[in-house]
Each structure stands twice: as structure tokens, then as C-alpha cells.
Chains A and B, each alone.
Chain A
Amino acid sequence: MKLTIKLYCIFICAFILRSQCAGGQEDRLFYDAVRTEAAGDLDQAINLYLEASTLSHSANLHGNLANLYFKKEQYGHSILHFRKALLLNPRDTELSANLNFAYEMAKMPPPMQSFASNYFSANFLSFWIIICAIIFWTGLLILFYIFFFKTSKKTFLYFTICWVISCLLSCFAACLSLQQQSELYREVIVHFPQTENNHSKTIPLRRFAGESNSANTNILPGESLIIRLGNDGVSKSHQIANGKTWYLANSADGKKKGWIREDEFGWIIDPNS
């Protein structure tokens, strides 16, 4: 019995220690990256930050990574990581300012902030769902109360109409927000592949999945694309003979579309993570 208790204690301690060690690894990588950056070795600092990002995420990590890419004038990567950082900390005005500056340096206008994108964005999805639930249940309770405990049919009728309209509006808001959320999950930021030295400074969206065919259109690094969904509800992709996967994407306004190689963009929210 004592042996069993001892083994159990040892197992618990080992588990706690392991989890603490694992938790400290991203911290160690982060601090190493900061020191390396201070020493002037930007490439090594980027590698360390990227390694840390495979373990965990933080707004400061992606912000620092974006800053480094910006200093190396890789604006596509910089915008990608600023977007990630802002997802983690949407209220950080410094990140917003840096992102806008990166857009300007990439010779692109910042994304238009419309009413819909502000109040029905993916960030507001939870809010709208909760509002929708509150309106539905509160209204339903009041409706039954009026039905059973109040004699006025007129009140019952008017309240029913108001309740139905409120439910429809809140559901519509939640649907809009859900749609934004869906697009966010499929949103990618275009950047140059790390290994390729592209002199044209644009990235082509091809007519077909493959290198040899001509480009439908060209886009700048840092531009945002939405990966299209297939009939089965998953991202429309095609794997060619060399193992590279191509995705069918279109711009946010839908004016540009075409196939893009997997190493020519970065997911804002990685579907594999």
C-alpha cells in the first residue's frame, strides 16, 4: 500500500515537473530570441521566435517577430504576424499602429474598417451568441408569463411580435459574425517563400494549380486572401506531383482569384495547429 502511494506521488511530481519544464521552454526560447535580436543577429532571432511559436503563442512573441520581419523588409511576413498578435491582443494600439505602418511600407492601403467588420467581426461572435440566447430565453419566459398570468391578449400579441423581431435581428448579427469567423479561419497573408528570391515583387495567382501556367493576376506581399471552400465544406486544394499543395483563393473583395502555392502564404490561424 505504501509502495503504491509512493509510486503515485512520484508520478504526480514527474507530471507536474514535466508540465512546468514544457511551459518554460517557450519562455526560454523567447528570451534567447530577445537577446539574439539585441546582439544584432536578426535571422537567428527570427528562427528562435518561430520555434517558440510552434509550442505556444503570445501577442508579444508575434509582435516581436513582426518587427523583425519589418526590419528585414519582409512586409508580407511582418503583416502576417502583426495580424496574429492583434488576434491575441486586439486592444493593443501599438500593434495597430505598427500594422498600419507595415501596410504603408508594403504599398498597400490598410483594410477598410466598415461598420460590419467592426461590430460583426469574429471577435464579436461570442457577444452576439450570448445576446441571442438572452433575448430568446428571456423573451420566452416573459411570453409564457403573459400567457398564463396576464389576461391582456393585446399585450401578449405585441410582445410576441417584438420578441420574434429581436430574435431574428440577434440571430442575423450572430450569423454575420459567424461568417466573419469562418473567413478568418480561411484567411491567409501572402508573402514571398523564404527560399525564393522573387525579383518581380509580386506573387501570381495562377489559372491552374501548377507552376507552368500563366497568372490570372498578381498580388503584393502582405495582401489578404480567403481560401475558398469546396463542395465538401473544406478548403479547396490540390496536391501536385512534387508534393506541393495548391489552394484556390480569392481576395477579400472577390476581384482577384486564382491558385496559390502553400509556401507563398501564411495562415493567420493555422488549421493544422
Chain B
Amino acid sequence: MVRLIITFLVLSHFPCFICHSQGQNLRVESSFQPPSITLSNNSVYKVIIHGSQENPQGSLPQVPGLIISNSPQTFRSASFRNGVPSVRLEISFQVKPKKMGKHTIPSWPVKIGSNTLQVPSSTIEVLAPNQQDKIRQNAEEKQKSELKEACFIEFTKPRSFLFEGETVSGSINLYIWDRLPVSRIERAPQKDGDAFSLTELGQPQEKRNQSKYNKSYTVFSWPIGLTAAIAGKHSITFNTSIRVRVKSRGNSPFASPFHNDPFFGFGREESLKVTSELQNITVKSLPVINRPKSFNGAIGSLSTRSTVDNDRVSLGDPVRFFFDIEGQGNFSAMPAPIFESNSDFKIGPPAFSFAGNELTKHQGKQRFEYILTPLNPGLLKIPVIHFSYFDPIQEKYFTLNSSEHPLRVDPGETWIDTTRGELEVEERSNSIPTADLFQTENEPGKWVHEIQKTILLNSSIFWAAQGIPFICVCGLIFYGRKRKRTGKDIFRQKQTSLKKQMKEAIEYKDSTLFYRATRERIRLEIGSFYKYGNPSSLSNNEISSLLKNGNNEESLISQIQEILHISDSHEFAENEEFSQSLDDQLKKINGLLKKIR
């Protein structure tokens, strides 16, 4: 049920007619004009309201077999009939028949102001198409056909069936008749069919003067890669829209802009949708039987190759492992082969790179780059990659294995404790590169009968050698004891003590102490020299006689006597009148005592 809402129109004119027409009776009429049409013609359904120009309100009933326009045209009129003012309102609906036969619009209510009236029923008779209608229909079909030939999309399917996940390459060709005034292509062709995925369309390749259907065309081609996504029978079409220039003249005998030359008149642009023919493609599921475990969805005709960037590294240094897949296949949907870490290698996720037709990604070389980090030193073998693919032509699975690459992993640098002289260790490790390890010596070198030398403690030479210092020590002890017995040591100790007293007296300027020590020293040294039994008991005269007996010079004797006299007078008479300094006295005494004979 279509609800018809009639818009309100302002009745601003003819107010006097309205006033006078208040007395006129309200009346409603309805009819089809013409009441009988052929199937290819249209008719008008008219509702006429006499006595009012107010907008009516009501709902037009829906009739099967007729298409009634919902945008009616209204016409108001006023006139004097026999001196009596008369007003009326006409409402016209376009009607298009859908099928032959008699169609009746039943009576329906309409509200005008406060009054409700019944619109009477009306009947239209739809007849079979006549000869003129057929001619017109043929002409329209011909126009459509010509229009289709003027601009169309061509997509050829490579095979009648595809496998699920398979990618095929192709191209979408947009043919535009040279005489068609196309201003631009509004958008690239779009796929209509959810069971397929399409690679991105780039810039088209343009080819001019392509002949087809006895016409000259300009062809725009988009290379594509079409991948079947869902198994089953599916259809696919492509559509695009182009902008064409048309003339503004509306009374063309064919109502078609394409038989007129828009270049010689003022025209306008219109959008024209172009669609390819519907293609039905069967998408088969991949066979489950004999499917390898390593199959990951690669479909095509492929070959593999594996390489490494280095065959000798140090422990911890990464190695790049390249696995190349070359040929034709679904590279855009191809996952990386499984390459898992093991006890010898830590393997990271691969990097992808494709070399070939970047638009379709159907033909070329797909490279997977893995970074392998060796975990152990030694001669390792890089694990083998198992890569399986399905060949859609042979309809069989194939498995390819990568080469077994040997890899020499040197131990590399080890962490060096800085407290153990890192420089020394570094120099040593630098001096012996790993390449020089395990070289065979051609000469035996020095032969020995025992690996470990004899312990020194077990050596008789060692113990014999200990006799030398032992003898030295014994000799020293013997000599020391002998020396102690002769009294020389006591004399030396006393002499040293007196010399020390004299030096201290000079330091403290104690002349009394100095001369006392001097006198004692002279007695000790002269008495000991002449082997007198008790030197400390010698008097001054006894010292002089001893010196005379020794044939010493008179001057020496007199000088010693003088010193002894000074010493006595210093101690007993406390006579400190003495001109010479204590230092000079000490030197003089030392010199005199050395001269004693």
C-alpha cells in the first residue's frame, strides 16, 4: 500500500471565487485518459474535484498490473458558468501498465477540508502491443546493442575452473568506441563477486585503434591477479562508469545521445555505467589425499633455491639464510615456510621481498630471508626447509627441500675478567686467530722421559746446595764466639759508647761530659793499645810513661798531656776558660789517638 501524501498548496489567488464557491456543491470525478492503451504505452489517471481548490488528503490504492507515479501534477481552474462562479482541482497521475487486461482502481476516500468524499472507481483496459510498439521495441533493443558495442568491458577467464587459493593472472579490458564522446573514466573497474579476491588495480595501459565489431576502439587494460577464495560455483563481473558528453536536445527520435554529434552543439555530461558479461567459474577444493604436512597453501608451478651469506662465522654472529621460491603461483597468499629454532640455531621471523610483477604477484621470485644465530661452536648444519606446493595443472602436490648448508662456527671472543689483566689476554687471543687452530707440528721438539720434572725437594743437589749456607752460618757463629772471648768486642763496645757520649756532649754543649768521656777514652785506647791490665785505673803520668816507652813523639805526648790536664781542670777546678771549640777538640783527639805507636 503506497501512501500518497498530497502536499498543501497555498491558495492565495482568487479569494472572491473561494468566497463565492462556498455555496457550490463538492463533487469528485475520476477517469483514465486514454481509457484503453497498448502494453507499451502510458495513460494518465485523473481525479477532478469540483467546488473546492483545497488540497485533498487521502491514500491512492495500489493496483496489481499498474505502476502509478507518486508525483502527481495538479491543476486549479476557476470560471463563471452562467454567471455562477465555478472552481475545480485536477490531480493527474502517470500510469504505466505491466500486463494486459482490465485494471480497476477501486473507490477510495479523500478528505477536503472538513468534508470526506468518495473517489469513484475507474477502469483501464490494457491491450496487446501493436505493430508500432514492436517496431519501437526493436529500435530500443538495437540502441542498447549499439550502446553495448560502443563501450564494454572484456574479461576472459584463463580456465573454466580454479582451485581454492589459486591465483591466476589476467587483464580487464575496457573498450571505448572512438566515436563515443567520453570525457573521462570515472573509476577503475570494480569486481562484483565475493568468492574471488583481486589485486590492486594500477594505472591502465592504453592502446589505440584496436579494431573489433568493425569499429575502432581505444582499449584500457588493467593487469590483475585473481585469487579464488571460496570453493563452489561462482560468478564474477566487472563494472565501471565513464563520463560522456550528450546534447541537450530532448526530442531526439530515439531519445539517445549517441546518434547525435555533441561537438556541434551545447551538450552536457552524463555518467554511463559499463558492465562486463557475467562469467561463471567453478572453484574446486584442494585434494586432501596425499597432502604433505609442510603444505601451507602455495599453489602454482614453482622451484626453490636456498643460499647463505656466509659459511664461517663466530659464535653469536648472525647468518642470513635466503630461501627463494620462483615461478608462477599465488605469491600474494603464500606464507613463509616453517623454519623453527633448534638447539644449534635461533631463527627469527623471515623478511619478505618479491621481485617480479608487483601488480599481479603471480609470476616472479619470492625471497624469504631468515636471520640465524648459531648457539654452539663447531661444524654445524643449517636445518633443511621442507616446502610443499600444489601444481594446479598436474593437479598434484610436490615437496621441495632446501640444501643442507654446512656452517663453521668459531668460538669467538669470550668474556674476559677485567681483574685478570684483560690486555694480556686480549693480546694473546689476537695473536692466535681461530684460523690457525690445530696445526700439526712437523718436528717432535725436545724429548723428555717424564712429563713432570722432579720435585726440587727430592733432588739431592738441592739438599747438597743447602750445605753452603749452612757452613757459612756455622763459620759466622764460630768466628763471632771467638771474637767475643778475646775481649775485643768489649773494648769496641766501650769505645763506641765513649764516642757516642762525646758526640752527645758536643750536641748539648756539655763540656764537662765531653772532657770526662775524652779522658776515659784516652785511658781506654792507650791502655788497650799497650795491653795494660786495667786501663781505667791509669793516671796521667802512667799514660805519659806508656807513650814514652812506645817511642812516640814528644809533641804527641805533650798534646795528650795537655788534653788530660784540661779534662782534669774542667772536672775538678771547674775551669771553663777554654778557647777551642768541642768539635775541633774531637777532631784533634781522633787524630792524636790514630798516631799512637
Contact = CB atoms under 8 A, between A and B. Distances in A.
Interface string B484-498: 100000000100100
A89 to B, nearest CB: 8
Nearest to B472: A141
Contacts of A13: none
B432 A60 contact: no
Contacts of A26: 444, 447
Nearest to A130: B456
A138 B473 CA distance: 9
B480 A64 contact: no
A88 B378 CA distance: 28
Contacts of A270: 451
A58 to B, nearest CB: 4
A34 B442 contact: yes
B439 to A, nearest CB: 8
Q: Which size class do A's interface residues fall under?
A: 35 or more
Interface string A88-113: 11000110111011001101000001
Contact of A140 (B445, B469, B479, B483): B469
Contacts of B434: 101
Interface string B444-459: 1111111111011100
Interface stretch (A147-155, A192-200, A204-212, A236-244): A147-155
B293 interface: no
B330 to A, nearest CB: 45
B411 interface: yes
A231 interface: no
A57 B473 contact: no
B438 interface: yes
A71 interface: yes
Contact of B452 (A27, A122, A130): A122
Contacts, number: 129
A113 to B, nearest CB: 7
Contact of B441 (A60, A129, A145): A60
Contacts of A171: none
Contacts of A145: 476, 480
Contacts of B377: 101, 104-105
Given A97-B432, A144-B476, A144-B480, A61 B462 contact: no
A11 B60 CA distance: 150
B466 interface: yes
Interface string B412-452: 00100000100000001101101011111111111111111
Contacts of B450: 57, 273
A125 interface: yes
B477 interface: yes
B481 interface: yes
A219 interface: no
B432 A94 contact: yes
A129 B457 CA distance: 8
Contact of B440 (A67, A100, A122): A67
Contacts of B442: 34
Given A34-B440, A59-B445, A87-B452, A101 B480 contact: no
A58 B449 contact: no
B476 A148 contact: yes
Interface in A14-64: 23, 26-27, 30-31, 34, 37-38, 52, 56-61, 63-64
A38 B441 CA distance: 11
B314 to A, nearest CB: 12
A137 interface: yes
A126 B453 CA distance: 10
Interface in A259-273: 268-270, 273
Contacts of A71: 438
A269 B454 CA distance: 12
Contacts of B441: 60, 63-64
Given A129-B457, A140-B473, A144-B477, A61 B452 contact: no
A42 B439 CA distance: 14
Contacts of B493: 151
Contacts of B479: 148
A181 interface: yes
A57 B445 CA distance: 9
30 contacts: A26-B447, A30-B444, A56-B448, A59-B446, A67-B439, A67-B440, A70-B438, A87-B451, A87-B452, A96-B428, A98-B438, A101-B411, A104-B377, A105-B378, A126-B453, A137-B469, A140-B473, A141-B472, A141-B476, A144-B476, A144-B480, A145-B476, A147-B480, A148-B480, A148-B483, A149-B480, A151-B496, A178-B455, A181-B455, A185-B452
